[in-house]
Amino acid sequence: MAKKRKQSEKEASSELIKKKEEFSVERPKRTLLGWKDKDVEEKKQNDSPFFRNKEKVLVTCSRRIIFRYRHLMLNVVSILPHCKKDNKIDSKESKGGALNELVELKNCSSCLFFECRKQKDLYLWMAKCPNGPSVKFLVNAVHTMEELKLTGNHLKGSRPILTFSTNFDNDPHWKLLKEIITQIFGVPKDHRKAKPFHDHVFVFSIVDDHIWFRNYQISVPHNEIDKVDRGGLDKMTLVEVGPRFCLNPIKIFGGSFGGPTLYENPYYVSPNQIRALEKKKQAGKYAKKVKAKKRRRIHEETNALERDEFADIWKD
């Protein structure tokens, strides 16, 4: 028969177990590359004096998008190496919640959403997720790389130089748009798919309250005679690559895909209103023709011509 432990021995053993639990060090996690220590990694991330850009952009579109706008979206994906492409999404009232969830699942911080309506009009959403702000644009003057057949050809995955016209510093809403565009279109330096040099330029310029986008390759002669030194900008040339498009800002929201309106464009006219006015003009032309016929009939009745004397002779 086994002897029972005394109460004092039980208490002493429990105290020893507690002390061991207090002073025991957690074992580091094992990964495929070896042992991983949490504290060392956190210290490295927090103590680093340099800012590391971890921007990732989710690019997606709505259902029933036409081929031309889909090609534009694919061109944007090809010039942004730090983006992730996803499946089409239904453009309903609840699209904001679905897109925010998708952005979180894909581990992204921004979103470009191409929304096509009536298979005619293209809207572009630029959003910082999940807290905002977000901007809604109407996209005009769309020209894809396949349409233009331009001679420029930069390396895929290279980092672009972003240039903005001086108009972006005039008003606060243009400054906000400049910051959003810089964060979304600026490729991070240490991204795994990005090349560590610059050979093309993204140009954003404001003309008639519209943002015009152009993409140029920096062409430098590489002959031994015409070798360019540092700072020799006279021999460098810009060759357009594409795509081209124009952004007409509609609204700036405080949240992601919604929220309080920070800015509303007073000069914006929706494409539906433009088409309605054109229909009215066409209807007005038909109404003018009908009125002109009535006036001529009344004029002919009131101003009847006198009977010709030679009409009977010619009949005989």
pLDDT in tens, 153-181: 899 999 999 999 999 999 999 999 999 99
**Does residue 24 surpass a pLDDT of 60?**
no
List Cβ neighbours of 129 (8 Å cut-off, separation of 6 or more).
99, 100, 103, 104, 108, 109, 110, 111, 256
Q: Which residue has the tokens 């929304």?
A: 115
Q: What is the mean pLDDT of the chain?
A: 83
Burial class (CB in 10 A: 0-12, 13-18, 19+), 206: buried
Round to whole Å and give the CA distance between 58 and 77.
9
Is 193 in contact with 187 (CB distance < 8 Å)?
A: no
Q: Could you give the domains of the chain? A: 57-272 (3.40.50.10480)
- In three-state secondary structure terms, 19 is helix
Highest mean pLDDT among 129-133, 192-196, 243-247: 243-247
DSSP run (H or E) holding 295: helix 271-302
Is 114 in contact with 73 (CB distance < 8 Å)?
A: yes
Is 125 in contact with 58 (CB distance < 8 Å)?
A: no
**Does residue 278 surpass a pLDDT of 60?**
yes
Chain centroid, CA 236 distance in Å: 30
| CA angle centred on 190, ends 184 and 195, rounded to 5° | 85
DSSP run (H or E) holding 239: strand 237-240
What pTM was estimated for this model as a whole? 0.74
Select from 206, 172, 173, 200 the least CA-distant residue to 185.
200
Is 193 in contact with 57 (CB distance < 8 Å)?
A: no
Predicted confidence at residue 184, as pLDDT, reads: 95
Q: What is the DSSP string of 246-258?
A: EEEEEEEEEETTE
3-state helix, strand, coil in the chain (%, to 5): 35, 30, 35
290/75: higher pLDDT: 75
**Does residue 1 surpass a pLDDT of 80?**
no
* Segment 214-219 mean pLDDT: 93
The number of residues making up the chain comes to: 316
* Segment 34-58 mean pLDDT: 66
Predicted confidence at residue 110, as pLDDT, reads: 94
Predicted confidence at residue 316, as pLDDT, reads: 57
Predicted confidence at residue 285, as pLDDT, reads: 74
Round to whole Å and give the CA distance between 33 and 38.
14
59-88 pLDDT, tens digit each: 999 988 999 999 999 999 999 999 999 988
